[in-house]
Structure 1
Amino acid sequence: MSFKRQLRWGIALLLVLGSLGYFWLKSSHDVIETIVCDDIVQGCAHGDLTVRAMTLPTTMRAFEVRISSPGAESVYASFDMVDMQMGMNRYRFQRQPDGGWRAMVTLPVCISGRSDWVMLIDIKHSSQALPTHYQLTLTTQ
């Protein structure tokens, strides 16, 4: 076997092993904590995290969501249906003077008429290398 051919096989093997290592490490850190939430307007808590919608969520109408997580460096959230991705709708929350986080969000309309939403929250703390992931299930009108 020629040197060039051995080099190609070596590079291909390194790429495959590198990709497998990356996905193994990524999946080992992607633990999603579930937040039980009966009424997001009243607010939901999980440890130091609280999530609250200021009005009842409805599709295609902006509503305010507030999140509190002491020590948070950044907060993002996206919305999908249960077992159905709903496209790109990732929201970056803005830090407020009181230390909380706020964003105006809009749920896309689901053509099937479903109202079972999953809010995926990513919170980065300065003390952590990777963000913490939370999942909260909510329903709309």
Structure 2
Amino acid sequence: MSMKQAKWLVATLLILGVMTYLWGRAPSKLSTDVPVTGTLTQVETPDDCQLKGEGCTITIDDLGDFRVAMPATVAPLKKFDFTVEPLGEAARSVGSVRVDFEMVDMDMGINAYRLERLADGHYQATVILPVCTTDRSDWLANLTIHSTEGAYLLRLPFAVDRSRPSEG
């Protein structure tokens, strides 16, 4: 093998390695999803929205109502389902739903999920949140709903449960 061929081989392997690393870290961030029409509109969420447990209903002008929920207990490193239910006519115009979890003023890595549309019209993703080494529990679920009317962002605060029930 000539020196020129060896350089090309090393360069190719390096590029493949970087691409594999990026794909493994954040495949959802590498997609080219764009809203069907319009810009990203931030929606005010009600102050009394309790995301955990029964969830809450959020109204998006020109789109309709959505029920957003997660279990009453959400602990780090434990799987849970995040669910969005378009109510009434809202279901007709929804294209895709994503949620990105972030801790306020703390880098917890990429925690983004594309919700899958189920047969009953709900959107759902199974989520696992990382552990915060400083014992913080304040999170935001940044929910993005892409529709024929545009894209909408809802920033929903919640807290993870730090105390774990005893097992045994």
TM-score, length basis structure 2: 0.61
Superposition deviation, residue 39 in structure 1: 4.8
Paired with 2:53 and 2:137, the residues of 1 have a C-alpha distance of 16
Matched, 1:53 2:70: yes
Matched, 1:78 2:100: yes
> Using a 3 Å threshold, how does the CA distance of structure 1 residues 50 and 115 change in structure 2: closer, same or farther?
same
Q: How many residues align?
A: 111
Q: Give the aligned residue type for 1:49.
A: F
* Among 43, 46, 58, the residue aligned to 1:33: 43
Q: Which residue of 2 aligns with 1:92?
A: 114
Q: Give the aligned residue type for 1:32.
A: Q
Paired with 1:95 and 1:64, the residues of 2 have a C-alpha distance of 13
Q: For the Cα contact (< 8 Å) 2:95–2:147, is it kept in 1?
A: yes
Superposition deviation, residue 127 in structure 1: 3.1
* Among 133, 143, 151, the residue aligned to 1:111: 133
Structure 1 unmatched ranges of 5 or more: 1-28
- Which has the larger displacement, 34-43 or 82-91? 34-43
Superposition deviation, residue 111 in structure 1: 1.2
Q: Which residue of 2 aligns with 1:136?
A: 156
Paired with 1:49 and 1:39, the residues of 2 have a C-alpha distance of 12
Paired with 1:118 and 1:99, the residues of 2 have a C-alpha distance of 24
> Using a 3 Å threshold, how does the CA distance of structure 1 residues 74 and 85 change in structure 2: closer, same or farther?
same
Q: Which residue of 1 aligns with 2:18?
A: none
Q: Which residue of 2 aligns with 1:42?
A: 54
Identity of aligned residues (%): 30
Paired with 1:108 and 1:34, the residues of 2 have a C-alpha distance of 27
Paired with 2:68 and 2:113, the residues of 1 have a C-alpha distance of 14
Q: For the Cα contact (< 8 Å) 1:117–1:139, is it kept in 2?
A: yes
Structure 2 unmatched ranges of 5 or more: 1-38, 60-64, 162-168
Superposition deviation, residue 121 in structure 1: 0.6
TM-score, length basis structure 1: 0.71
